[in-house]
Amino acid sequence: MASGTASPELEVIGREGELSRLRDFVLGEPNERVVVLSGGPGVGKTTLWEAAVAASTEQGAHVLSARAAEAEKTLPFATLSDLFQWIPIEAGPDLPEPQRRALDVALLRAEPAGAPAKTRAIALGVLSVLRSLAVERPVLVAIDDVQWTDAASMEALAFAARRLDGESVRIMLARRPGRPTPLEQATASRATGLILEGLSLGAVRRLLATRLELVLSRRVVRQVFEGTLGNPLFVLELGRTLTEVGPPAIGEELALPDSLDELLGARASAAPKPRRALLAVALGGGLTVSELVELVGDDALEAAVERGLLLEEDGRLRPSHPLLAAALLKRVRARERRELHRALAEVVSEPARRARHLALAATLPDTELARIVAAGAAGALARGATQQAVELAEQALRLTPTGAAERHERVLELAEWLKRANEVSR
Ligand SMILES: Nc1ncnc2c1ncn2[C@@H]1O[C@H](COP(=O)(O)OP(=O)(O)OP(=O)(O)O)[C@@H](O)[C@H]1O
Ligand SMILES: [Mg+2]
């Protein structure tokens, strides 16, 4: 998405201080290049990130935004495609032809032709586009769940970010705690952190009242607050349960489930059809509405959306919350995953994606399958998607029977591509 988001407009409760800080950041001094919103699962990073994206658009910034998704981490240039979705990449004095071409191929706007796209040309193209946009008005590059940005996008963005100087380009990242991504490492000297904590007691009360129309006594609100440490996702899931079972009697403890994961797992698994739809999206990597309908049918999709498991955005589906998908994936056996990967291979048309699903569905070596996966790897390389090429080449090798004639060639190929993947542009 380029501006705003397609999620329903929900009131942001509390967070006034954080939001005003983010507003100032976008239009402030360029010595602060990057802001990293971090905090535990469900604490409200995406909510704040969305509000900041909307506010920046309103203030006249040029906003390029993307939500990285766990299922799309293996899809090369997924994040970059989202960021550049509404940006026409045109040849001009700022964008030399090889860069335009490399970007077009990487973002699937043109077919690869001739030599594989050079990672460097793609990254330079990103830098040129950001610079030329920033001449018009301040630019905000906003990525939610940056830890799931695919490797190809990450590399290009880190390259560009390192070379930005006085330009009015800001980067806002949201992420769970963990190791900094290459993009953050590239900009560490000009980055500031914003750590989100749980909501206050008053905000928890307002959250329950506005989102679930649940008005509880002071005593029970306090129990919810203490049991969840104000984590809004946990508060909402617990609130949903309280709506069903009713509040605890005086003197009784709030029956707090062991974990948020348990609550989410139960919701994700409650009915078989929506569960399958959610699982397909979790494994599918950027599944479109028509692909999912072909796989599970209209009614399963509808039921999953109605139950609040899936959201549709720009014709693609995503889990309504990443933790919901994670909770379900944890409860699924390998066999069921493989079965679904096999079915996914039937509905996705892009060769590299199809090859990946076929590989993940297979346990044993198979000459013909290995050939298809190796072809998928070569296709990925032609797009400049080195990391994906390496992953598929590894799978192709795993599926090549011992003693097969192609084995030697595949080992050499993999070695060559691994070398290229490690030559991260500096
Ligand atoms: N300030 C807020 N006001 C109202 N609702 C909120 C607020 N913060 C979070 N929520 C709600 O709580 C839930 C979890 O929030 P959100 O998805 O933003 O968390 P997150 O930190 O991004 O989680 P994750 O780490 O899994 O990405 C959502 O349903 C969201 O609408
Ligand atoms: Mg989030």
Q: Which fold has domain 16-195?
A: Rossmann fold (3.40.50)
Q: From the CA of 12, give the closest atom in ligand 1.
A: 3
Q: Is the pLDDT of residue 384 over 70?
A: yes
pLDDT at position 381: 87
* CA dist., res. 362 & res. 48, Å (int): 41
Q: Give me ligand 2 centre to Cα 146, in Å.
A: 10
Whether the CB-CB separation of 199 and 16 falls below 8 Å is answered with no
What are the C-alpha distances in Å from 237 to residues 43, 209, 250, 308, 397?
13, 13, 22, 12, 44
Of all residues in the chain, what percent carry a pLDDT higher than 70? 92
Q: What is the distance between the alpha carbons of residues 322 and 194, in angstroms, rounded to a whole number?
A: 21
With beta carbons less than 8 A apart as the criterion, state whether 384 and 119 touch: yes
Q: Which atom of ligand 1 is nearest to the CA of 49?
A: 18
Helix (H) or strand (E) holding 35: strand 34-38
- Is the Cβ atom of 195 under 6 angstroms away from ligand 1? no
Residue 287 corresponds to which tokens in the numbers above?
Answer: 């599944």
Beta strands in 91-201 (DSSP E): 139-144, 169-175, 191-195
| Nearest ligand by distance to the CA of 236 | 1
The atom of ligand 1 lying closest to the CA of 39 is 21
Decide if pLDDT at 419 tops 70. Answer: yes
Report how far residue 195's alpha carbon sits from residue 133's, in angstroms, rounded to the nearest whole number. 30
343 three-state secondary structure = helix
Task: Determine what percent of the chain is predicted with pLDDT higher than 90.
Answer: 58
> Is the CB of 51 inside a 6 Å radius of any atom of ligand 1?
no
Cα–Cα distance for residue pair 73/154, rounded to 1 Å: 10
For atom 13 of ligand 1, the residue with the nearest CA is 233
Rounded distance from Cα 260 to ligand 1 centre (Å): 13
230 lines ligand 1 (CB under 6 A): no
Class (C level, CATH) for 267-332: mainly alpha
Please report, for residues 103, 147, 154, 381, 420, the alpha-carbon distance to residue 389 in angstroms, rounded to integers and kept in the order given: 18, 20, 16, 5, 10
Q: How far apart are CA 381 and CA 391, in angstroms?
A: 11
Domain segments of the chain as ranges: 16-195, 201-256, 267-332, 351-426
Least confident interval from 110-119, 132-141, 168-177, 193-202: 110-119
pLDDT grade for 241, boundaries at 50, 70 and 90: confident
Residue 236 near ligand 1, beta carbon < 6 Å: yes
Say yes or no: do domains 16-195 and 267-332 share a fold: no
273 lines ligand 1 (CB under 6 A): no
**Amino acid at position 202, single letter:** G
- C-beta of 260 in contact with ligand 1 (< 6 A): no
In this structure, which residues have their CB less than 5 angstroms from ion ligand 2?
45-46
pLDDT at 2 over 50: no
